[in-house]
């Protein structure tokens, strides 16, 4: 068995020599709630200074070692190259949008917008999820349309509503004129800049973005004083009455306090009232070639078909309006929430689940009214706040105060009648445009 020091060195080497609680910039966080009409995008603030492994209490050693693919091993030089590319707006067609514009490290690699904005102010359909700890993902994007970081890295560069390049060669040409990139690609890959290596470098950097070391990690490791009594009550609710464990902690008997996701896809009743999903499913069934990743990507980002979730990928009726369970680490500072950014606060999220979501034919069977009291909702929010990693502590304090104040003024998802009522019968799943399964 490796010693602790040797294990840390092994992980540090695999992740690129600086195991990364990714640092925060000093960029201020706006107190204004996110809206559907955000300002013109600009490059993100870029990754801040890295920290070292000892601060990563809770980091899963075996899963981290297993998550690095043998065909794209981590090296310090490759991670550094990917980090530079991640913050370079020249990868976009208009030179205005970097990867970090939608995945800003100061916001735990999100952008604070309802939906992300690409070149020329084009508004997409999806909220930008954090890429912290995405190293452990089984699939990428809200609908799972990519299965690796290398695949994921291609699609935003080519999507007309994101970075808008016609092909990877155009993105390479935009950065290849910089002699520093020419030298870096030669050092890392032994050849000039090219599309495949560009995506490998971006993937290596993104795999290095791990973030643990929260107060909850200290608590679960045995420090009972690391979180307050409300958060402790919230954890018990999370794995019990509130049923959050059904998707985020896996089991009541053996709850998993590591990833806070089951890596699966669920219809939780978000956005159903705003979209005619039956008509959209029939449209996608007839018009969308799910074997074409670019076509699926454009449908997800550029059209109302986005509301269909993983159905765009599978074309299976059971997958209509299902979306991937997000990891909840640093959730306090990644608002707004859900795939469409429709929930502004954690209170909105809990209110949504408390009333049993929005009933529809494909609602996950584990979604039902929860009968949570206001005190219990407060405890759940306190628990989720305890999942904030150490380097985001100050942002977390500000975000909690801001969300709390907003929730005092507005709780659009709150419905105590429905929350304390019986689970309604689900509508029929029949879809006339689809063959029986």
Contact call for residues 109 and 209 (beta carbons, < 8 A): yes
Q: Tell me: pLDDT of 19 over 70.
A: no
For 257, residues 6+ apart whose C-beta sits below 8 A from its C-beta are 58, 216, 217, 220, 249
Q: What is the pLDDT of residue 53?
A: 44
| Residue range 207-243, pLDDT digits in tens | 999 999 999 999 999 999 999 999 999 999 999 999 9
| Residue range 382-435, pLDDT digits in tens | 999 999 999 999 999 999 999 999 999 999 999 999 999 999 999 988 887 886
Task: Give dist(CA 343, CA 328) in Å, integer.
Answer: 15
| Residue range 25-61, pLDDT digits in tens | 333 333 333 333 333 333 333 333 333 344 689 999 9
Contact call for residues 380 and 234 (beta carbons, < 8 A): yes
Domain pair 4-207 / 234-437, same fold: yes
| Residue range 258-280, pLDDT digits in tens | 999 999 999 999 989 899 999 99
Structure tokens at 25: 């910039």
3-state class percentages of the chain: helix first, strand second, coil last, to nearest 5: 45, 5, 50
Give CA torsion, residues 339, 344, 350, 354, to 10 deg: -90
| Residue range 323-378, pLDDT digits in tens | 999 999 999 999 999 999 999 999 999 999 999 999 999 999 999 999 999 999 99
Q: What is the pLDDT of residue 47?
A: 37
Confidence band of 290 (pLDDT split at 50, 70, 90): very high
What would the mean pLDDT of 251-256 be, rounded to a whole number? 72
Which CATH number describes the domain made up of 234-437?
1.10.760.10
Q: How many CB atoms lie within 10 A of CB 405?
A: 11
- Backbone φ and ψ for 367, nearest 5 degrees, come out as -90, 120
Q: What is the pLDDT of residue 422?
A: 94
| Residue range 144-187, pLDDT digits in tens | 999 999 999 999 999 999 999 999 999 999 999 999 999 999 99
Contact call for residues 88 and 175 (beta carbons, < 8 A): yes
Taking the mean position of all CA atoms in its chain, how far away is CA 327?
7
Task: Give dist(CA 263, CA 248) in Å, integer.
Answer: 9
In 221-367, which ranges are continuous DSSP H helix? Answer: 229-238, 245-248, 277-287, 293-302, 311-314, 346-354
* Ranges of each domain in the chain: 4-207, 234-437
Class of domain 4-207: mainly alpha
Give how far Cα 177 sits from Cα of 105, 153, 174, 181, 182, Å. 27, 21, 7, 8, 8
For 235, residues 6+ apart whose C-beta sits below 8 A from its C-beta are 216, 219, 227, 383, 386
Q: What is the pLDDT of residue 14?
A: 57
């Amino acid at each position: 068995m490796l010693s602790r020091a040797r294990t840390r060195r092994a992980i540090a080497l695999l992740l690129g020599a600086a195991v990364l609680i990714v640092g925060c910039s000093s960029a201020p966080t706006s107190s204004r709630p996110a809206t559907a009409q955000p300002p013109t995008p600009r490059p993100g603030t870029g990754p801040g200074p890295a920290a070292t492994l000892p601060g990563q209490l809770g980091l899963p050693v075996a899963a981290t070692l297993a998550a690095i693919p043998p065909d794209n091993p981590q090296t310090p030089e490759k991670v550094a190259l990917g980090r530079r590319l991640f913050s370079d707006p020249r990868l976009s067609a208009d030179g205005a949008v970097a990867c970090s514009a939608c995945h800003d490290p100061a916001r735990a690699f999100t952008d604070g917008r309802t939906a992300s904005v690409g070149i020329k102010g084009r508004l997409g359909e999806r909220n930008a999820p954090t890429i912290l700890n995405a190293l452990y993902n089984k699939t990428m994007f809200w609908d799972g349309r990519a299965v690796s970081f290398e695949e994921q890295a291609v699609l935003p560069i080519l999507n007309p509503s994101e970075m808008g390049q016609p092909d990877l060669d155009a993105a390479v040409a935009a950065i290849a004129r910089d002699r520093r990139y020419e030298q870096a690609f030669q050092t890392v890959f032994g050849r000039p800049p090219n599309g495949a290596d560009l995506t490998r470098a971006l993937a290596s950097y993104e795999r290095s973005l791990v973030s643990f070391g929260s107060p909850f990690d200290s608590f679960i490791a045995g420090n009972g004083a690391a979180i307050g009594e409300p958060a402790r009550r919230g954890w018990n609710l999370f794995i019990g009455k509130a049923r959050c464990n059904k998707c985020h902690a896996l089991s009541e008997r053996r709850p998993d306090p590591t990833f806070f996701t089951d890596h699966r896809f669920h219809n939780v009743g978000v956005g159903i009232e705003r979209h005619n999903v039956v008509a959209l499913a029939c449209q996608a069934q007839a018009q969308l070639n799910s074997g074409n990743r670019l076509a699926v990507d454009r449908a997800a980002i550029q059209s109302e078909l986005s509301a269909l979730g993983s159905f765009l990928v599978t074309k299976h009726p059971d997958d209509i309006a299902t979306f991937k369970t997000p990891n909840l680490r640093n959730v306090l500072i990644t608002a707004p929430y859900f795939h469409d950014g429709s929930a502004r606060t954690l209170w909105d999220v809990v209110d949504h689940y408390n009333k049993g979501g929005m009933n529809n034919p494909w609602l996950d069977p584990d979604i039902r009214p929860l009968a949570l009291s206001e005190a219990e909702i407060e405890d759940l929010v306190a628990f989720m706040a305890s999942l904030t990693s150490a380097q985001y502590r100050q942002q977390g304090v500000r975000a909690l105060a801001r969300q709390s104040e907003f929730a005092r003024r507005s709780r659009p998802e709150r419905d105590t009648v429905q929350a304390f009522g019986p689970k309604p019968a689900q509508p029929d799943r029949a879809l006339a445009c689809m063959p029986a399964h």
